Amino acid sequence: MSFTRSFLSGTPKPLKLIVYLIAGISFGLALLGAFPIAQAASALLVISPFGAKNLMIWQALTHIFYYPSGGAISLGFLINIFFACYMLLFIGKMIIEMRGLKHFYTLFFGSALISGTVAMTILYFFPTMTHVAGASSVIYALLVSWLFLFPDAQVLLFLMIPAKTKWLIPGFLAFQALQDFSEGNFLIFTTSASAVLFAYLYNVMAFRMHSPYLSLHGFERLLLKIKRPQRNLPTAEVFAEKSKIYDFKTGKAVVEDEAFMDACLAKISQHGKKSLTFWERIRLRKISRKKGHSSRMDSV
């Protein structure tokens, strides 16, 4: 219970609702899997050749809320649900905190609709026995957004090995893509790739940010010129704190508020208030309110 409270504390209600829906629908239909009504409900949720042929367009969105159990509740099914919900909470909280609920919704539902539409289009023209369900593509899209925010942040891999997100996340996504491709699961490979591409383009164009990879900066400048004339663009390091290490138990960064406040005050004293970024100002105000120094920071 203490683990659950510590991890869910501060989680926005919309994110909690999404996670509860995924866990509740998946577990509930698995528990009632032997009943025809549960089988009919699952057929309406997942993307299938039948749904694609009959233009059940809602499946492009509903498929992310249901993880099939394979006919029975198993340990593998429970682990799959737990991992998906955990990743959504862990990454979603930081994206909402840094970019706001509107952009989280755009990434979450946008990647779901893009990948779902791609899957339904493929199944409409090339029907197979493959079904598409689960929020994996959405999680991949959120990972890409997290990569833009914290490229130099370190994650404790296996709770022991520190690895930077700008190498860990592409490595993980590449491994998943190679696994799907080698198994001949081209439908899942394509839908996952579409979600990743959507998240990449959205982060570059919506926030006018470069990725942490210099080899892509030329392409990204071209994208931004197409949208509107290019200005001085922030790189992803604007949002990164290179000393940050994330604790998977609490989902919070191991950087003390006092250290952050001292760094911001030093920055203000040297370069003025305008030197603070938008997100630095937001966090600084939150810290000051929490510590009862709101009057000191109201003008920041």
Mean pLDDT score, 271-299: 65
pLDDT at 270 over 90: no
pLDDT of residue 85: 92
Q: What is the pLDDT of residue 2?
A: 44
Please list the alpha-helical segments (H only) found in 32-156: 36-45, 49-53, 59-62, 75-99, 101-125, 136-149
Q: What is the pLDDT of residue 300?
A: 56
DSSP state of 291: T
Quick one: what percent of the chain has pLDDT higher than 70? Answer: 76
What's the pTM value of the predicted model, to 2 decimals? Answer: 0.74
Using one digit for the tens of pLDDT, what is the confidence trace for 227-247?
A: 554 444 444 444 444 434 444
Q: What is the pLDDT of residue 68?
A: 87
Q: Spell out the domain ranges in the chain.
A: 2-238, 256-297
pLDDT at residue 284, as a whole number:
73
Summarize pLDDT for 77-106 with one digit per residue, the tens: 899 999 999 999 989 998 998 888 999 999
pLDDT, residue 277, reads 65
The superfamily CATH assigns to domain 2-238 is Rhomboid-like (1.20.1540.10)
Task: Kindly give, in sequence order, each residue whose CB lies less than 8 Å from that of residue 251, ignoring residues fewer than 6 positions away.
Answer: 7, 89, 90, 93, 94
18-56 tens-digit pLDDT? 999 999 999 999 888 778 888 888 889 999 999 999 999
Of residues 237 and 218, more confidently modeled: 218
Q: Which of 110 and 90 is assigned the larger pLDDT?
A: 110
d(C-alpha 232, C-alpha 72), whole Å: 55
Give me the mean pLDDT over the 154-178 stretch. 82
CA dihedral 22, 26, 29, 34 (to 10 degrees): 170
